[in-house]
């Protein structure tokens, strides 16, 4: 499938001495992703682990447009394509003094008739453990090299019959193996096949509950 944006604009490390530079491999995009600043990187991790996101591209474009005779430039942080076919351009911002950037982005969205989304601390850091757990699952899911559909079906049928189970219970029942059982759970979560409880408020452990996506948590 061809996507509208696949190659991000360059962003030299020397752009700002105040921000850290992050580079890692994206399983969803099958390439390295990079960005300046932890907030933007954490947003990319959230998109990577969001099963409703089919595709994304950091720094998709830079575009100038005119409003009342004045030239304005916008640089969306990320382009996002959702599973329902909806497209959006995100602006990741952390500073209240960036009102001019926010206003320009809003005007650009209206003029281009495109969906825009603002992502700040409130949207990215949903709870005290959200990013820590997302990073943990992000790293684990990247370890999976192949998918066994038969094993997936058997596991999900078992979980559907049993209902909600903890990671520890699944290990005790022999449905997960040490030491790679959590890798498999992270992979299922990455693909949107299972949900995990309390990711915003508690650190992932053997007490974390696992249940099939679409099923009501008991």
Residue 2 is assigned to a structural domain of this protein: no
Give yes or no: residues 31 and 89 share one domain: yes
Q: Which residues fall within 8 angstroms of residue 133, CB to CB, at 6 or more apart?
A: 196, 199, 203, 204
Q: Which of 75, 95, 124 is the endpoint of a domain? A: 124
List alpha helices for the chain, DSSP H: 38-48, 99-112, 121-124, 130-141, 149-162, 167-172, 181-190
Q: Do residue 169 and residue 119 come from a single domain?
A: no
**1 within some domain:** no
Q: Among 109, 124, 139, where does a domain finish? A: 124
Strand pairing class (70-74; 63-67): antiparallel
CA–CA separation, 20 and 37 (whole Å): 5
pLDDT at 15: 53
Same domain, yes or no: 151 and 115: no
Residues 102, 144, single domain; the answer is no
SS3 212: strand
pLDDT of residue 95: 72
Q: Which residues of the chain have pLDDT under 50?
A: 218
CATH code, domain carrying 91: 3.40.1350.10
pLDDT of residue 18: 57
Same domain, 83 and 184: no
End of a domain among 124, 145, 174? 124
Give the total number of structural domains in the chain: 2
Residue 73 and residue 142 in one domain = no
pLDDT score of 218: 42
Return phi, psi of residue 71, to 5°. Answer: -85, 130
Tokens at residue 24, please? Answer: 């890692």
Q: Which domain holds residue 197?
A: 130-212
pLDDT at 8: 96
Same domain for 147 and 59, yes or no, is no
Whole-model pTM? Answer: 0.90
Could you tell me if residue 5 is inside a domain? no
| Same-domain check for residues 119 and 17 | yes
Q: Which residues contact 16 (CB under 8 A, 6 or more apart)?
A: 36
Read off the tokens for 112.
């281009």
Is there a single domain that holds both residue 105 and residue 169? no
**For 189-213, what is each residue's pLDDT tens digit?**
999 999 999 999 999 999 999 999 8
């Amino acid at each position: 499938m061809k996507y509208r944006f696949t190659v991000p604009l360059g962003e030299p490390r020397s752009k700002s001495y105040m921000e850290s530079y992050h580079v890692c491999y994206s399983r969803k995009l099958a390439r390295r992703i990079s960005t300046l600043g932890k907030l933007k990187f954490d947003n990319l991790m959230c998109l990577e682990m969001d099963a409703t996101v089919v595709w994304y591209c950091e720094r998709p474009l830079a575009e100038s447009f005119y409003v009342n005779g004045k030239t304005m430039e916008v640089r969306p942080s990320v382009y996002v394509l959702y599973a329902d076919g909806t497209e959006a351009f995100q602006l990741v911002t952390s500073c209240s003094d960036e009102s001019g950037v926010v206003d320009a982005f809003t005007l650009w969205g209206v003029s281009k008739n495109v969906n825009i989304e603002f992502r700040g601390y409130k949207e990215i850091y949903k709870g005290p453990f959200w990013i820590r757990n997302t990073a943990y699952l992000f790293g684990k899911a990247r370890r999976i090299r192949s998918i066994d559909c038969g094993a997936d079906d058997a596991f999900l049928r078992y979980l559907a019959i049993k209902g909600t189970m903890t990671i520890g219970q699944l290990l005790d029942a022999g449905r997960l193996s040490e030491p790679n059982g959590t890798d498999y759970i992270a992979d299922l979560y990455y693909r949107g096949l299972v949900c995990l409880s309390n990711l915003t408020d508690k650190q992932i452990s053997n007490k974390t509950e696992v249940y099939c996506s679409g099923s009501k948590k008991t």
